[in-house]
Amino acid sequence: MGAIIQYVQSYLDPNVKVTPGAAGNLFWALVYIMLVFGGLSVAVIAMNWLERKILAHMQVRLGPMRVGPHGLLQPIADAIKLLLKEDIMPAEADGLVFWMAPLIVVLAAFTVFVVVPFGPTHAITDMNIGILFMLGVSSLSVLGIVMAGWASNSHYPLIGALRSSAQMVSYEVAMGLAVVSAILMTSLNAEGTGTLSMIGIVQAQLAQHEWFIFKFFPLGLVAFFIFAVAMVAETNRAPFDLAEAESELTAGFHTEYSGFRWSLFFLAEYSAMIAVSSIAVTLWLGGWLRPFPNLLNGTPWDQIFSLFPGVTFLFFAAICFYNTVRMPKHPLFRIQTIGLAGFGVVLGLIGLILFVPPVSVRIQDIFWFSSKVAGFMYLYIWYRGTFPRYRFDQLMQMGWKVLLPMGLGVLILTASVALLQQKIWHP
């Protein structure tokens, strides 16, 4: 107990830089696992609500409005419904494989968060091969998808599984090339040694005073673009959602799944989205670094930027209060109005807590990282609202004939430019 208090004290003291997730510190690794996975579940729930709302507003409709004020409790209602639903297994299915498939997908999607760096000290662990681990483990979810499709013993899931495995395997290649060109950039220091560690990659960007998306313009940008396309394909989302193309294959590999097992697939899909966005943020968008760390530096700017987390939550609270005022004054809406106001109060309180200096300093990294990831999440929703779906052969063509040569070209160019820079410009 004393250790905990001591730890919390050291945590709140900005001068002490503890690394709670360091290897060997099993207790704090466990605490961080709880925190990250709790946060992840909340993020998935919020994402569910936000996707439905944002998509609805893009499509001139309201989205969920019934359960809770502005449908805020809808994801919880959905979760309860899914958990209470009868769990159906087709009679001809292969029981063991059918049972294991969603577990593998969920495990693969969740395990990658072990190395996601929410801040220099906010990570479960820092692995020497962090990015390799992330790519490797996230590629394991293909196995689950293939198993789900095969175990259902039905044509639509089988085609869906074949499609999605072929898609994920092909796009992994382009993705890997883009990642390699970013890792190459980490080696542009005096010693000439790069790193695969997720924290190391962000620190390399800090040391080079440049996010890798702007490095060797436009090479970093092109690599980022390749990754950004490949990551959408990798997570089977629109416009690459062929594996679960509703109009063609009903629901693809999870056609035969229902209830809890289906919700596991759902959970895995959203956490995989967050995971690949985290990779993109870490590799190209400076991870936990705040915007313009070089241009707007100095203590006053630091202080201004440290206000951002609190202000954001206060802004959300203000939106809640505004909508509370706009609620119909009918007695039927009384509970909803109170609920919305209460939600606003909670958000406002969180915002106020975030203004307390020790907290606000500590929360900076997490805030910037999460808001960058949130930007990607919005992009995902936007794509879904805008694009039609690619056809399978076009998708393959894009992966192998467009993104792969582009990735190779970017890799070679980045290497040449880096070599030139080291040998000629700064000998």
Partner 1 sequence: MTDPNTTLSPLELESHDKTYLDANELVINMGPQHPATHGVLRVILRLDGEKVLGLECVIGYLHRGVEKIGEHRTYTMFNPYVDRMDYVAAVSNGLGYCETVEKLLNVEAPPRAQHVRVILTELNRIASHQLWLGTHALDIGAITPLFYTFRDREEILKIYEKYCGARLTTHAFRIGGLQYETYTGFEKEVTNFLNFFRPKIDEYEELLTTNRIWVERTKNVGTISAEDCIALGVTGPVLRASGVKWDIRKAQPYANYKNLDFEIPVGENGDTYDRYLVRMAEMRQSVHIIQQAVEALPEGPIMAKVPKVMKPAAGEIYHSIEAPKGELGYFIVSDGSTQPYRLRVRPPSFVNLQALDVMCRGQLVADVIAVIGTLDIVLGEVDR
Partner 2 sequence: MAPVATPFFFYLFAAIMLIGGILVITQKNAVHSALALIVLLLAQASIYLMLYAPFVAGAQIILYAGGIMVLFLFVIMLVSIERSMKERQFNSQWLVGIVAATALGGLFIAVYLKGKNIFPDHVLPVVENDNTQKVATLLYGQYMFAFEIASLLLLVAIIGAVVMAKKRI
- Using the CB atoms, write b or e for 228-238: b if 16+ within 10 Å: bbbbbbbbbbb
* CA gap 107, 9 in Å, rounded: 34
Query: Looking only at residues 388 through 407 of this chain, which bind partner 1 when binding is defined by CB under 8 A?
Result: 388-394
Considering the rule CB under 8 A, would residue 165 count as an interface residue with partner 2? yes
Tokens 């802004």 belong to: 315
Give DSSP secondary structure letters for 196-265. --HHHHHHHHHHTTS-TTTTTTTHHHHHHHHHHHHHHHHTT-TTSGGGG-HHHHTTGGGTT--HHHHHHH
Query: Looking only at residues 147 through 176 of this chain, which bind partner 1 when binding is defined by CB under 8 A?
Result: 155-156, 159
Residues in the chain: 427
Considering the rule CB under 8 A, would residue 136 count as an interface residue with partner 2? yes
Considering the rule CB under 8 A, would residue 92 count as an interface residue with partner 1? no
First to last CA, the chain: 55
Considering the rule CB under 8 A, would residue 257 count as an interface residue with partner 2? no
Please list the alpha-helical segments (H only) found in 112-196: 130-139, 141-151, 155-186
* Nearer to partner 2 among residue 43 and residue 179 (C-beta): 179
CA angle 288, 293, 295 (to 5 degrees): 155
The torsion angles phi and psi of 211, rounded to 5 degrees, stand at -70, 145
Query: 51, 6, 12: which is closest to 376 by C-alpha?
Result: 51
Considering the rule CB under 8 A, would residue 222 count as an interface residue with partner 2? no
Query: Looking only at residues 180 through 239 of this chain, which bind partner 1 when binding is defined by CB under 8 A?
Result: 238-239
Helices 308-326 and 299-306, interaxial angle, to 10°? 30
One-letter amino acid for residue 36 of the chain: V
Considering the rule CB under 8 A, would residue 193 count as an interface residue with partner 2? yes
* CA gap 100, 85 in Å, rounded: 19
* Nearer to partner 2 among residue 151 and residue 243 (C-beta): 151
* Nearer to partner 1 among residue 240 and residue 305 (C-beta): 240
Considering the rule CB under 8 A, would residue 253 count as an interface residue with partner 1? no
Choosing among partner 2, partner 1, none, which partner's interface includes residue 193 (Cβ < 5 to 8 Å by kind)? Answer: partner 2
* Nearer to partner 1 among residue 81 and residue 391 (C-beta): 391
Choosing among partner 1, partner 2, none, which partner's interface includes residue 3 (Cβ < 5 to 8 Å by kind)? Answer: none
Choosing among partner 2, partner 1, none, which partner's interface includes residue 238 (Cβ < 5 to 8 Å by kind)? Answer: partner 1
Considering the rule CB under 8 A, would residue 385 count as an interface residue with partner 1? yes
Considering the rule CB under 8 A, would residue 243 count as an interface residue with partner 1? no
* CA gap 185, 222 in Å, rounded: 14
Choosing among partner 2, partner 1, none, which partner's interface includes residue 142 (Cβ < 5 to 8 Å by kind)? Answer: partner 2
Choosing among partner 1, partner 2, none, which partner's interface includes residue 144 (Cβ < 5 to 8 Å by kind)? Answer: none
One-letter amino acid for residue 78 of the chain: D
Query: 132, 131, 123, 117: which is closest to 33 by C-alpha?
Result: 123
Choosing among partner 1, partner 2, none, which partner's interface includes residue 245 (Cβ < 5 to 8 Å by kind)? Answer: partner 1
> Measured from the CB of residue 382, what is the shortest distance to partner 2 in angstroms?
29
Considering the rule CB under 8 A, would residue 279 count as an interface residue with partner 2? no
Considering the rule CB under 8 A, would residue 387 count as an interface residue with partner 1? yes
Helices 198-207 and 130-139, interaxial angle, to 10°? 130
Q: Look at residue 161 and give its three-state secondary structure.
A: helix
Which of 245, 273, 411, 418 touches partner 1 by CB under 8 A?
Answer: 245
One-letter amino acid for residue 413 of the chain: L
List contacts with partner 1 (CB under 8 A).
55, 58-61, 155-156, 159, 238-239, 241-242, 245-248, 250, 384-394
Q: Which residues bind partner 2 (CB under 8 A)?
A: 24, 26, 94, 96-97, 100, 127-129, 132-133, 135-137, 139-140, 142-143, 146-147, 149-151, 158, 161-162, 165-166, 169, 172, 193, 196
